[in-house]
Structure formats: structure tokens, C-alpha cells
């Protein structure tokens, strides 16, 4: 199937599902679309039991979409930039140290807790897995998805000082999570003995620091360009070129593209409205990126729902997935406990911050994309199914209840 036909089908489905959700279900946008997409997939599966042609054609469509490339190499940069563009630096600056710890040490600690617990769970169930593959799973499931978090928190009306922690962490920890995943992936491929500690440290430093530096340089250069003109059409195109250019350059330089676009987005979003943009330009830039954000979110969450068609479902995999849900939540709670305790009094955290941040740490498409990148010998089918179960529970279960949880905590304050 050609690329235009695939995009057409996805946009048509997104439009239909968005209408159904807006008109009838009235659920938070991303949750509603994914839930409808899953129901649509189940209907296709049932119809497929009577007519194999329908199900076969649907599977051909999904299998022809490279979800990993579509999300990590194409959609992610646009979505992260759109979120970062509206992140206020003043609020982020105040919480920069805990956010940095959440996004770095939090991801690393969570990776090892999840990997270790799942290794022993596998032994208890009688499905022995290489420990390094369990760590790979820990790395891909530890980052919270900013794409899911941003939309859900807006609907939850979370307090600003809590929202900035969760959103700030989510914007950065996916970039760090991808780097941690790549490091462990390299060890899994080559063996621990053939990978030196200095090589691992350099890879981590190159990806993280290089990505941040690239984002700062790119954001500053584009800011200087936009200062010299006042033409909203051109300036919208320049922001679009910035995201695409940074993504391509990051790939060539082997630095973190997600971190680069987040840093550039925060820089542009905080500096340009005061100095470089007129009111008209700011309005058009904001509306353009909001619309692009909504469109790509719609396509992404419809895709997540449709991925059910190609997930391997059996009793053992479902058991693993159900056990992995509390394991992932416990690991996140423990990973956040240190930074929360350290800064709780100094930064006036709201009550039960750790509990809310744990429950508000939504997993999404990034985890599925990373699971799809595993090789078959790395227990790809098992971890893909487990990841899908966690993501679906996270988006629907946690996403629908984070609002009531926040309200209840604030009410009992």
C-alpha cells in the first residue's frame, strides 16, 4: 500500500473517531480516540472470523506502517516541540533540579528495578529470560510519554506547580530513556565484556549533552533570524524548518534529537514572544503548532489502538503483562521517592506528590516504538505484548482517574 493511501486511511479514521468521541463519549481526546480504535480493532477481529479478507487487509495496512520510524523519527520531534513551545521557563527554572533528577536518575533507577523484578517474575512463572533483556524492557517502559501526559493533564486541571513537574520530567525523560535503552541495547548485542565503561559513558554524554547543545544553538540561531523580520507566514515556516532541521542534524551527529527539539522549543517559546514576535505572529505560531499537535496526537493514538491487530496474545503473555503493571508503578514510585523527599520542603510540594506523579506518569507510543525495535531473540513478542498491556492500562486506567485523584488529594489537603 502506498504512503498516501496509508496517511489518508489514518486521517479519515482519526476524523471519524474524533467526531464519535466529541459528539457521544466526551472522553479526554487522546483516551477517547485510542479506546474507539481498540473497539474498532476488536470489531474487525470478530468480523474477520466470518470473513478473513477484512482482517487480512487490516493487518496488511498495520504491518505496512513502520510504527517505530513513524513515531521516533518523524512524529516525536513535532509533538515534543509543540509541548515545549508552551512550557514556561520561569516555572521550569524553579524546579530544574528535581526535574533533572526525575528525568535522569529516576529513569535509570526505574530501569533496574523493573528489569530485576521482571527477571525474577519470569523465573517464578517458568519462562527464564536473559537479565539484560529484562533491563531492555525496564528501559523502554520507564520513560513517561509527554505526548500522552500533556493532553491528559490539561483535562485533569492539575495544579500548575504539579503539572510543571510532571510535564517537565516527561519532556526530558523520554530523550534520556531512549539513550539508556540504546546503551543497554548495545550491551545486549555485543555482550558486557566487549563494551567498556568509558564507551558507555561517552555514548550517554554525547547523546544527552550533544542534544541539549544542538537545541540551544539551533534555537538561538532561529531566534536571531526571526528578530529581523515581522512576517507571520515566514516565521511559522521557520519554526517548522527548525524542528525538521534539528531532527535530521541530530541523526547525522549521533546526538539526541528529542532533547534537541525540547530545548529549542523551550528557548523559542520563552524568548520570541517578548522580543522576536509580534502579537499576530505569536497567535499564528501558537495556533499552527496546536493544530499540528492535535492532528499528530489523533493519528498516533489511533495507531496505538490499531496495533492490537499485530500483537501476539496468549495466556502467558497476558499474565506477564498483568504482573508488569504493578511492577512498573512500584518502580516509578521508588525511583521518584528520593528526589521528592529531598526537595519536598524546599519547593513546597503539594501533598502526596509522589503518589500523583506515579499515577500521572502515563506510558505511551514511545514505549511501543522501542519494543518494536527489539530483535526476535530479545523476547520481542513477549515484551511487545507486555508493553502494549501496560500502555493501554496507563492511558485508559491512569488517564481517566488522575483527575479525580488530584481533586481528592487537594480536597483532603
Look at residue 13 in the predicted model and tell me its pLDDT.
Answer: 97
The predicted-structure confidence for 74-113, as pLDDT tens digits, reads as follows 999 999 999 899 888 887 888 888 899 999 999 999 999 9
The Cα 50–Cα 13 span in angstroms is 23
Look at residue 204 in the predicted model and tell me its pLDDT.
Answer: 84
The Cα 379–Cα 346 span in angstroms is 44
CA distances from 22 to 18, 19, 27 (A): 6, 5, 8
Look at residue 154 in the predicted model and tell me its pLDDT.
Answer: 66
Nearest to 168 by CA among 350, 357, 31, 30: 357
- Which of 63, 85, 109 is the last residue before a domain boundary? 63
C-alpha cell at 77: 520531534
Question: Is residue 24's pLDDT more than 90?
Answer: yes
The CA-CA-CA angle for residues 37, 40, 43, to 5°, reads 155
- Provide the strand spans (E) within 216-347: none
Tell me how crowded residue 63 is: count the other CB atoms within 10 A of its CB: 12
Burial of 205 (0-12, 13-18, 19+ CB in 10 A): exposed
Query: Do 31 and 150 sit in the same domain of this protein?
Result: no
Q: To which residue does cell 524542528 refer?
A: 243
What domain range is 52 assigned to? 3-63
Look at residue 93 in the predicted model and tell me its pLDDT.
Answer: 83
- Which of 46, 63, 80 is the last residue before a domain boundary? 63
- Give percent of the chain above pLDDT 90: 66
State how many domains the chain has: 2
Query: Do 174 and 34 sit in the same domain of this protein?
Result: no
At a CB cut-off of 8 Å and minimum separation 6, what does 297 contact? Answer: 29, 30, 33, 79, 147, 151
Alpha-carbon torsion, ordered 400, 370, 142, 85, to 10 deg: -70
Q: Are 323 and 393 in contact (CB under 8 A)?
A: no
The Cα 96–Cα 85 span in angstroms is 17
The predicted-structure confidence for 184-207, as pLDDT tens digits, reads as follows 998 998 876 677 778 888 888 899
Query: Do 24 and 53 sit in the same domain of this protein?
Result: yes
Look at residue 91 in the predicted model and tell me its pLDDT.
Answer: 75
Question: Is residue 147's pLDDT more than 70?
Answer: no
Look at residue 133 in the predicted model and tell me its pLDDT.
Answer: 96
At a CB cut-off of 8 Å and minimum separation 6, what does 155 contact? Answer: 28, 29, 403
Query: Do 59 and 73 sit in the same domain of this protein?
Result: no
Q: Are 44 and 54 in contact (CB under 8 A)?
A: yes
C-alpha cell at 37: 480504535
Look at residue 155 in the predicted model and tell me its pLDDT.
Answer: 65
Query: Do 86 and 100 sit in the same domain of this protein?
Result: yes
The predicted-structure confidence for 6-23, as pLDDT tens digits, reads as follows 999 999 999 999 999 999
Query: Do 54 and 86 sit in the same domain of this protein?
Result: no
> Quick one: average pLDDT of 311-327?
95
Q: Are 150 and 158 in contact (CB under 8 A)?
A: no
The Cα 225–Cα 192 span in angstroms is 47
Q: Are 172 and 363 in contact (CB under 8 A)?
A: no
Query: Do 57 and 105 sit in the same domain of this protein?
Result: no
CA 203 to chain centre: 22
Query: Do 287 and 157 sit in the same domain of this protein?
Result: yes
Look at residue 30 in the predicted model and tell me its pLDDT.
Answer: 87
The predicted-structure confidence for 356-401, as pLDDT tens digits, reads as follows 899 988 998 999 999 999 999 999 999 999 999 999 999 999 988 9
- Point out the least confidently predicted range of 1-10, 163-172, 181-190, 352-361: 163-172
153 band by pLDDT with thresholds 50, 70 and 90: low
Q: What CATH number does the domain containing 247 carry?
A: 1.20.1530.20
Question: Is residue 149's pLDDT more than 80?
Answer: no
Look at residue 405 in the predicted model and tell me its pLDDT.
Answer: 87
Query: Do 57 and 194 sit in the same domain of this protein?
Result: no
The Cα 125–Cα 130 span in angstroms is 14
Query: Do 20 and 162 sit in the same domain of this protein?
Result: no
Question: Is residue 328's pLDDT more than 80?
Answer: yes
Look at residue 193 in the predicted model and tell me its pLDDT.
Answer: 65
Count CA atoms closer than 13 A to 294's CA, side-chain side. Answer: 9
The CA-CA-CA angle for residues 143, 145, 146, to 5°, reads 120
> Quick one: average pLDDT of 146-168?
72
- Which of 15, 46, 63 is the last residue before a domain boundary? 63
The predicted-structure confidence for 43-58, as pLDDT tens digits, reads as follows 999 998 888 888 898 9
Query: Do 55 and 102 sit in the same domain of this protein?
Result: no
Query: Do 218 and 345 sit in the same domain of this protein?
Result: yes
Amino acid at each position: 500500500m502506498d504512503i498516501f493511501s496509508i496517511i489518508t486511511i489514518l486521517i479519515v479514521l482519526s476524523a471519524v473517531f474524533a467526531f464519535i468521541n466529541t459528539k457521544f463519549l466526551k472522553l479526554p481526546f487522546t483516551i477517547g480516540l485510542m479506546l474507539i480504535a481498540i473497539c474498532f480493532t476488536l470489531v474487525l477481529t470478530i468480523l474477520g472470523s466470518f470473513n478473513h479478507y477484512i482482517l487480512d487487509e487490516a493487518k496488511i495496512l498495520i504491518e505496512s506502517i513502520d510504527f517505530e520510524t513513524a513515531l521516533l523519527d518523524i512524529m516525536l520531534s513535532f509533538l515534543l516541540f509543540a509541548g515545549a513551545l508552551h512550557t514556561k521557563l520561569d516555572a521550569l527554572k524553579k524546579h530544574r533540579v528535581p526535574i533533572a533528577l526525575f528525568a535522569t536518575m529516576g529513569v535509570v533507577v526505574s530501569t533496574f528495578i523493573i528489569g530485576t523484578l521482571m527477571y525474577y517474575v519470569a523465573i517464578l512463572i517458568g519462562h527464564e529470560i536473559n537479565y539484560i533483556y529484562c533491563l531492555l524492557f525496564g528501559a523502554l517502559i520507564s520513560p513517561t510519554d509527554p505526548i500522552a501526559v500533556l493532553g491528559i493533564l490539561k483535562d485533569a486541571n492539575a495544579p500548575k506547580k504539579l503539572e510543571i513537574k510532571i510535564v517537565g520530567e516527561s519532556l526530558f525523560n523520554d530523550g534520556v530513556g531512549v539513550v539508556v535503552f540504546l546503551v543497554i541495547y548495545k550491551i545486549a548485542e555485543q555482550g558486557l565484556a566487549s563494551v567498556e565503561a568509558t564507551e558507555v559513558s561517552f555514548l550517554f554524554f554525547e547523546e544527552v549533552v550533544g542534544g541539549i547543545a544542538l537545541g540551544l544553538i539551533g534555537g538561538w540561531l532561529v531566534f536571531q533570524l526571526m528578530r529581523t523580520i515581522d512576517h507571520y507566514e515566514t516565521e511559522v515556516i521557520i519554526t517548522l524548518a527548525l524542528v525538521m532541521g534539528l531532527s535530521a542534524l541530530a541523526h547525522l551527529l549521533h546526538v539526541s534529537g528529542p532533547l534537541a527539539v525540547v530545548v529549542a522549543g523551550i528557548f523559542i517559546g520563552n524568548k520570541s514572544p517578548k522580543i522576536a514576535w509580534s502579537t499576530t505572529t505569536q497567535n499564528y505560531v501558537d495556533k499552527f503548532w496546536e493544530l499540528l499537535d492535535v492532528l499528530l496526537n489523533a493519528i498516533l493514538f489511533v495507531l496505538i489502538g490499531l496495533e492490537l491487530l499485530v500483537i501476539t496474545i496468549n495466556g502467558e503473555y497476558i499474565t506477564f503483562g498483568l504482573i508488569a503493571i504493578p511492577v512498573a508503578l512500584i518502580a516509578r514510585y521508588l525511583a521518584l521517592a528520593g528526589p521528592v523527599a529531598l526537595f519536598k520542603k524546599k519547593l513546597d510540594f503539594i501533598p502526596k506528590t509522589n503518589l500523583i506523579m506515579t499515577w500521572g506518569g502515563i506510558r505511551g507510543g514511545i514505549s511501543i516504538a522501542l519494543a518494536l525495535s527489539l530483535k526476535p531473540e530479545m523476547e520481542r513478542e513477549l515484551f511487545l505484548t507486555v508493553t502494549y498491556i501496560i500502555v493501554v492500562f496507563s492511558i485508559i486506567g491512569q488517564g481517566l482517574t488522575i483527575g479525580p485523584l488530584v481533586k481528592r488529594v487537594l480536597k483532603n489537603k
